Structure 1
Amino acid sequence: MAVVQALAMVRDGVITGEGPTARGRVHFSRMLDSTDASWCARLLTAAAMDNQPVSREEAEALFEINDVAAERSDDGRFDDLFAKAIVHHATSASGLPVPPRSIALSPGTPIESWAPTKAVGVNIEVLEWVASQMRGKRRSNRRLMALVASLIGAATLPLTHLPNVFDIGM
């Protein structure tokens, strides 16, 4: 729970440009910068958390940060971390094995090296939860959308559900 609370502080700092995660630097409201992305990475990969899968609450906190950050100046680091963390959660919540966070969430580790490549064993309810979090957002993470569709297994969803994943009409 401490990680979720700390991620909420990062979210609040992104919203206001103030607070403990923005202290000592110029930070504009609604801007996510490399320091914010580093905060998220450090929190999610702390040694005490390394062998635990990313939790639903942590994933929700990351969706909130993604939603409030209207602008980005982090060279894509948060988007990479965000996609990997959500896939880590979805994979583990489906009962599939995941590597330690320090490996899975590392910028140097390609997600394709550990994420499921087939839909076998992926929990459809988890996929629907991820899709519901992505639906209707003003800022979408194209990498996460592609991973949900291909790596995690859009093939497990009936075709009538696919428009909801991508917020398009059939």
Structure 2
Amino acid sequence: MPETAQRLLIIDDDEMFCHVLHRALSRRGYEVLLAHDGSQALALARQYQPPLATLDLKLEHESGLKLLPELLELVPECRIVVLTGYSSIATAVEAIKLGAVNYLCKPADADEVLTAFFRQEGDPETEVADNPPSINRITWEHIQKVLQEHDGNISATARALGMHRRTLQRKLQKRPVRR
């Protein structure tokens, strides 16, 4: 728990998730700011210079990956943890390359988020799966990689994958499959 109230910005379009995380972090002594879109997040970052932020990877009309460098430009010392219900290897790698200190899959609780902010080293004890990912998981990962390569453009991604745009949209609406 911080000695003085440390400011933390939550950027997420899921209002219920924001409410739950806000309450849990406030109880732990954090001063919590909420933003539900990129412009709101940038305005709060500019005004309050939060040292910590959580950033949803998939905001309603924008990508958290595009917002990440803008936040770090405004607050270079900000430690940002990317949270997502749509995890993929491609987005995890890009988030770290763009300056995030960690990447967590939702649902994540307040303790996991706080640990992610301050964890400095990797964990060599992390379990390696005994079985390979399912074909559905590999498909999901590939779609995410191609989507990332096309800057989130669904039409361009569908063309690159050789599928109809609506089919791709339906696949993207589903949660990622488990390994």
TM range (shorter): 0.3 to 0.5
**Structure label with greater radius of gyration:** 2
Q: Which has the higher contact order (CA 8 A, sep 6+)?
A: 1
More strand by share: 2
Q: TM-score, normalised by structure 1?
A: 0.35
More helix by share: 1
